[in-house]
Structure 1
Amino acid sequence: MQGHALAFMRIPFDVLAAIDSRWLHYALQPVHYLIRIVHILSMAAFFGGIGLLDFRLMGWRGSIVLRSFARGVLPWLYVTFGVTVASGVLLFLYDPVAVGSHAFFVPKLILIALGLLNAVIYHQTGYLAALASERTMPLSARLAGAVSLALWVGVIVCAALNVESVPKVYLQMY
């Protein structure tokens, strides 16, 4: 689809073909559905946890002290993100040409990188202030939470848009 607005973000076919390994494809074939299930469940678990943390940073549930909440949710986020990445890499390597050629694959990867960058920057700049404030979140925390939530929602949207190709027929109401 040459005319697609995101065509410039596609991974070149030659690169995807070079990554393709039929041996790995056939080795993963019997468990491909399990890897996909693990990926979807871990992605949902990560998104649920990051959503709760982001909403707390934005000021929701101000009665819950951020320090104890973060102490409980951060290990969950690390584990679920790790499982999501590992299963996602396996799904990509299962069929890099098909997966990598999806229109929203590269934008999804960019949004993931931006989500991680947002977390790293916030953790190094404003996280301690948010922990010290206990109940009312500073503006930096509210902003970091909103940006994070927007980026991770974007990841989910890109993942959903990658499932099917663009409709071939557009129905119009007259």
Structure 2
Amino acid sequence: MEHGAAVEGIAAIAAQLEHSALGAAMRESLFLYPLMNLLHIFGLILLVGAIGLLDLRVLGWARDLPLKLCSYYLTPIALIGLGMMLGSGFLIFSADAGPLSASTIFRVKLLVIVAALVNAGLFRLAWSRRLGHWNDNAPPVARAQAGLSLLLWFSAATAGRLIGYG
């Protein structure tokens, strides 16, 4: 499929979503859109808060806390936050899907989120069984991934806030 055709296809799907009953409900309800925004922010707090703390621990912060235990408790919180963000984000998107799908900042946000999720997945695949051995020092590659994770999630949150200005 040619790039132009793909963009047109995405625009058509976005327009259908925006003009659907869901899109209309999100735009017309006095409480639904603001509630989803609050849920999205709460999901961001859970996701980035938990992942941020875990990344900081991998980077060497709070070495008296066992890394494996930190991962055990913080990962489910991050996953709950991610689920909240995906669900609420889709609903928020449905209210204004046409213009958002054409927004460069929105597209950058999505690409950064995908990169952050890929980084997290690769980290889990490569290192999850070794976390118990790193209470003093994580390998340099793992520390680089933790630093990249912080950068990517902060960038995604920043892009999300910039969407309204772009």
TM-score, L = length of structure 1: 0.81
Q: Distance in 2 between matches of 1:110 and 1:135?
A: 33
2:51 aligned residue: 50
Query: Do the aligned partners of 2:18 and 2:24 also contact (CA within 8 Å) in 1?
Result: no
Q: Which deviates further from its counterpart, 24-33 or 63-72?
A: 24-33
1:161 Cα deviation from its structure 2 partner: 1.4
- 1:22 and 1:70 map into 2 onto residues whose CA distance is 40
Q: Which has the higher helix share?
A: 2
Residue 97 (structure 1) aligns with? 98
Q: C-alpha displacement at 1:124, in angstroms? A: 0.9
- AA matched with 2:19: S
2:25 matched residue in structure 1: 27
Letter aligned with residue 54 of structure 2: L
1:2-27 CA distance string (max 9 Å, x none): xxxxxx9xx54444324333421222
Post-superposition shift, 1:126?
2.2
- C-alpha contact (below 8 Å) 1:66/1:135 kept by paired residues: no
Q: Which amino acid aligns with 1:138?
A: P
For structure 1, list consecutive stretches of 5 or more residues without a partner in the other structure.
Answer: 1-7, 166-174
**Identity of aligned pairs, percent?**
24
Q: 1:25 aligns to what SS in structure 2?
A: helix
* 121-130 or 59-68, which deviates more: 121-130
SS at match of 2:104: coil
Q: How big is the shift at 1:144?
A: 1.3
Report if the CA contact (8 A) 1:57-1:144 is conserved. no
Amino acid at match of 2:121: V
Contact 2:109 2:156 (8 Å CA) reproduced: yes
Secondary structure, aligned partner of 1:51 = helix
**Offset from partner CA, 1:10-62 (integer Å, 9 cap, x none):** x5444432433342122233111111111112112211111111111111111
How far residue 133 of structure 1 moved from its aligned partner, in angstroms, is: 2.2
In the other structure, the counterpart of 1:37 is 38
Greater shift, 70-79 or 12-21, is seen at: 12-21
Question: What code does the residue aligned with 1:27 have?
Answer: A
Aligned to 1:140: 141
Corresponding letter in the other structure for 1:57: V
Mapping of residues 15-164 of structure 1, within 5 Å: 15-28=13-26, 29-30=28-29, 31-164=32-165
- Counterpart-to-counterpart distance in 2, 1:41 and 1:153: 15
- In the TM superposition, structure 1's runs of 4+ consecutive aligned residues that sit over 4 Å from their partners are none
